[in-house]
Amino acid sequence: MNKESIFSKIICRTISADILYQDDLVTAFRDIQPKAPIHILIVTNRLIPTINDVTVEHEVALGRLFTVAAKIAKQERIDNDGYRLIVNCNKHGRQEIYHLHMHLLGGKLLGNMVCCHTT
């Protein structure tokens, strides 16, 4: 990794976290400030600051974010009712930690958000 983030320290286990999954590409752990009953962060083990920094070499890790999200949703028993996956990018996207990560949220009916629906 080029630089350390708080997520880098969780991945290396120098900071404790409730880790649900870890392999050579991604790590998943519970958010310490959950916005839903189930709020899990799935992060790339390799530091990629934002979506804008993604290259072809990251495709396998990005695919793993989704397969791990589906696996954890099933483990948490929210796969049938549904859940939301969110990736934020930069200031206007409300990215707070510049280490690419996906939020998995569920466990209740989630509110509306800006979307592509037309009226």
Q: What is the pLDDT of residues 42-91, one digit of tens each?
A: 999 999 999 999 999 999 999 999 999 999 999 999 999 999 999 999 99
- Cα dihedral 12→1→49→66 (10° resolution): -60
Q: What is the pLDDT of residues 11-33, one digit of tens each?
A: 999 999 999 999 999 999 999 99
Whole-number pLDDT of residue 4: 83
**Token couple for 36:** 């839903």
Share of the chain above pLDDT 90, in %: 88
CA-to-CA distance for 116 and 119, rounded, in angstroms? 10
Whether 101 is a known active-site residue: answer: yes
Q: Which residues of 21-49 are buried (b: 16+ CB within 10 A; e: fewer)?
A: bbeebbbbbebeeeebebbbbbbbbbbbb
Catalytic annotation, pick one of 58, 99, 101, 103: 101
Strand partners, 26: 44
Size of the chain in residues: 119
Spans of all domains in the chain: 6-106
Whole-number pLDDT of residue 111: 86
DSSP-assigned letter for residue 62:
H
Please answer whether residues 102 and 40 qualify as being in contact, where contact means their C-beta atoms are separated by less than 8 angstroms: no
Q: What type of residue is 84?
A: R
Which candidate, 114, 16, 94, 97, places its Cα nearest to that of 49?
97
CATH superfamily of 6-106: HIT-like (3.30.428.10)
